[in-house]
């Protein structure tokens, strides 16, 4: 069985040919919020992750969120 490779939020966004601003508009958040999610400063909620995966057309289980910085 083939192993799925997890990719970062930023890689998923780039793969979907979207900018942080595009994602922010689709998610109804600021581009800074998207940046913070991608760098691990903050984390999206599970519902936000599900919505992003739909927007990026990516399965939920192949996208990872960086650990939140303290």
What is the Cα–Cα distance from 65 to 38, expressed in whole angstroms? 7
Percent of the chain at pLDDT above 70?
A: 90
Reported as a single tens digit per residue, the pLDDT across 4-38 is 667 889 999 999 999 999 999 999 999 999 999 99
Burial 11-28 (b: 16+ CB within 10 A, else e): ebbeeeebebeebbebbe
pLDDT confidence of residue 65: 75
What is the Cα–Cα distance from 31 to 28, expressed in whole angstroms? 9
pLDDT confidence of residue 42: 93
Which secondary structure element, helix H or strand E, spans residue 69, and what is its range? none
């Amino acid at each position: 069985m083939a192993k799925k490779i997890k990719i970062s939020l930023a890689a998923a966004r780039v793969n979907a040919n979207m900018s942080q601003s595009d994602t922010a508009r689709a998610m109804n958040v600021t581009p800074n919020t998207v940046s913070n999610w991608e760098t691990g400063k903050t984390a999206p909620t599970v519902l936000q992750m599900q919505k992003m995966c739909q927007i990026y057309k990516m399965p939920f289980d192949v996208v990872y969120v960086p650990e939140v910085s303290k």
